[in-house]
Amino acid sequence: MSEFLPFVKPYIDEATIASVAETLRSGWITSGPKVLEFEKQLSEYFGGRPVRTFNSGTCTMEIALRIAGIGPGDEVITTPISWVATANVILEVGATPVFADIDPVTRNIDLDKVEAAITPRTRAIIPVYLAGLPVDMDRLYDIARRHNLRVVEDAAQAIGSTWQGKRIGAFGDFVSFSFQANKNLTTSEGGCLVLNNAEEARLAEKYRLQGVTRSGFDGIEVDVLGGKFNMTDIAAAIGLGQLPQLPAITARRRELAQHYFATLGADFEQQTGAQLPPRNFEISNWHMFQIVLPEGIIRADFMAQMKQRNIGCGVHYPPIHLFQLYRERGFKPGMFPLAERVGRSIVTLPLFPAMTHQDVERVCVAAREILKR
């Protein structure tokens, strides 16, 4: 039988591994010169905007909400199809999550439904760029301007994606990226937040490390309630090795996605009833290649049969509003039918730069065979 093919596999080259070893030997392994250099290079990548790094792409969104002054009594609109962290950060700051259903084609939040969900209590929108595909950025920021809302972009999966030739993160309001292990650029765990100005960056630094401001040799002051969210130099060393490779990583992912479409063929959807992702080759970084299974196909059965063929699949994501934590807050099945339909049937197929065209073809043959049965 063929070797097991996971749905994702991070690639860390030998030069990066050597730089991590060098960092470990340096004696400076927590936040230090590597973090500063990584932030500098990320800022250059995002067109000179201030960037601060963190130990996750979750706390980045929470800190953005805190900088924006969002808390109890405020509402924040987001999508039900995302990792649960997207909504959890809204609860963390004491605000109320408001979900808007998704567009069935892009699987991103439906901006028409976002506008319909705005109330006098709405303070912010958290759009999610599922699988790296941005929403209509012009429309998003038009809505935000007209209703005086902050935007915290959950771009966890979207580093390397673009909108009208501009990098996601190089424009807009707060933009949050994840560098978790399965992301296109990884630091093993970590993330960064792109900010608007130096004042926001200083406040992000305070929230990142217990609210502390240092001065001179021994001056320490604390004037906000912060946490422990700093990135280590070990993680930053990985990021510094990964960042120069990002254009090649993105290009390879797009090439593999194109091979998926070519191999599955124009008749795949008609013959199997499954739905392919939209073919947004130029703006998406193709973080994931996801299909939505036809009604009547039990996702767990499909995944089990793929595993029998030594092919791994992922689930990204179950609808957030149907988790117990959110049902206890009044959310119920049927409230967001498009998200529920996608959430129970979406499957992530293998896609990572080290894959070969033969790997893609193997996945396609298996998926078609299982679905046609």
What's the confidence (pLDDT) of residue 258?
97
pLDDT one-digit tens code per residue, 120-170: 999 999 999 999 999 999 999 999 999 999 999 999 999 999 999 999 999
Q: Are 290 and 131 in contact (CB under 8 A)?
A: yes
Active-site residue, selected from the candidate residues 113, 183, 206, 228: 183
Q: Which of 11, 19, 9, 15 is nearest to 235 (CA)?
A: 19
Q: Mean pLDDT, to the nearest integer, of 234-262?
A: 98
Is the pLDDT score of 105 beyond 90? yes
Encoding tokens for residue 108?
Answer: 């991103």
Active site residue 183: yes
The average confidence (pLDDT) of the chain is: 97
What's the confidence (pLDDT) of residue 281?
86
What's the confidence (pLDDT) of residue 2?
86
CB-hemisphere CA count at 13 Å for 338? 14
The C-alpha angle with vertex 348 and arms to 345 and 350, in degrees rounded to 5, equals 150
pLDDT one-digit tens code per residue, 323-336: 999 999 999 999 99
Residue 141: CB atoms within 10 A of its CB come to 16
pLDDT one-digit tens code per residue, 40-83: 999 999 999 999 999 999 999 999 999 999 999 999 999 999 99
Q: Are 353 and 289 in contact (CB under 8 A)?
A: no
Phi, psi of 160 (to 5 degrees): 95, -10
For the chain, what are the domain ranges? 14-244, 246-372
Q: Which of 346, 334, 338 is nearest to 103 (CA)?
A: 338
The Cα–Cα gap between 189 and 180 comes to: 4
Q: Which of 220, 238, 207, 187 is nearest to 13 (CA)?
A: 238
Give the DSSP H or E segment for 291: strand 289-292
> What's the pTM?
0.97
Q: Are 140 and 295 in contact (CB under 8 A)?
A: no
Q: What is the CATH number of domain 14-244?
A: 3.40.640.10
We find that the CATH architecture of domain 246-372 is Alpha-Beta Complex (3.90)
Phi, psi of 128 (to 5 degrees): -120, 135
In the chain, the percentage of residues whose pLDDT exceeds 70 is 100
What's the confidence (pLDDT) of residue 248?
97
What's the confidence (pLDDT) of residue 80?
98
Is the pLDDT score of 230 beyond 80? yes
Is the pLDDT score of 373 beyond 90? no
Q: Mean pLDDT, to the nearest integer, of 269-280?
A: 96
The Cα–Cα gap between 346 and 339 comes to: 10
| DSSP-assigned states of every residue in 77-91 | EE-SBS-THHHHHHH
